Amino acid sequence: MYLDEEILHFSKQIIDYSNALGSIYVEEYQRFLKNEYADLSTKQQLTLELLRTKTRTINELADYFSISSSAASQLISKLEQLGYVKREINPHNRREIIVDFAQKGHEYHKNIEKIQLHLIQKYYAKLPKEDLKTLLSLYEKLYTIAKETP
């Protein structure tokens, strides 16, 4: 497949900037949290991020990470032992286990919200609203393409 040279050039620059911004954000998160969540693996942190938007079933988590339900259950067991999550039987489908935040998970969520507010104030709030709308629109389009492309 032929790619236009300008598209290739711009795309590489976008990826480079995106990666650089990601590094800055990771540094901000680490500085802000001060090793408070050092006991969490990357996969455990991603699991908590998924739970910030909504409760999930063990099978949903297994699908997200492309692991077996048994491996997902082990992942949740560790987070449960650490006090971040709890499991409940789905009252609408008793064969499903729903994973939700426990007390430490709610604290994690509050701290992440504080970090996001910090990032918004430090970086995003310095952009004009129209630029933010454009950036959001572009991210939404790119996300849609990524989700629809096998």
Residue 96's CATH number: 1.10.10.10
The verdict on 17 and 40 lying in the same domain is no
Q: What integer pLDDT is reported at residue 42 of this predicted model? A: 85
Q: What is the CA radius of gyration of the chain?
A: 19
Q: How many Cβ atoms from other residues are within 10 Å of residue 85's Cβ?
A: 25
* Cα–Cα distance measured from residue 23 to residue 99, given in angstroms and rounded to the nearest whole number: 30
Q: How confident is the model at residue 98 (pLDDT cuts 50, 70, 90)?
A: very high
The verdict on 70 and 12 lying in the same domain is no
Domain of residue 5 covers 1-34
pTM: 0.76
Q: What is the overall mean pLDDT for the chain?
A: 92
Q: How confident is the model at residue 142 (pLDDT cuts 50, 70, 90)?
A: very high
The verdict on 26 and 40 lying in the same domain is no
Rounded average pLDDT over 34-61: 88
Residue 77 has pLDDT above 90, yes or no: yes
Q: What is the tally of structural domains in the chain?
A: 2
Rounded average pLDDT over 90-95: 90
Q: What integer pLDDT is reported at residue 102 of this predicted model? A: 96
What are the φ and ψ backbone dihedral angles of 127, each rounded to 5 degrees?
-95, 145
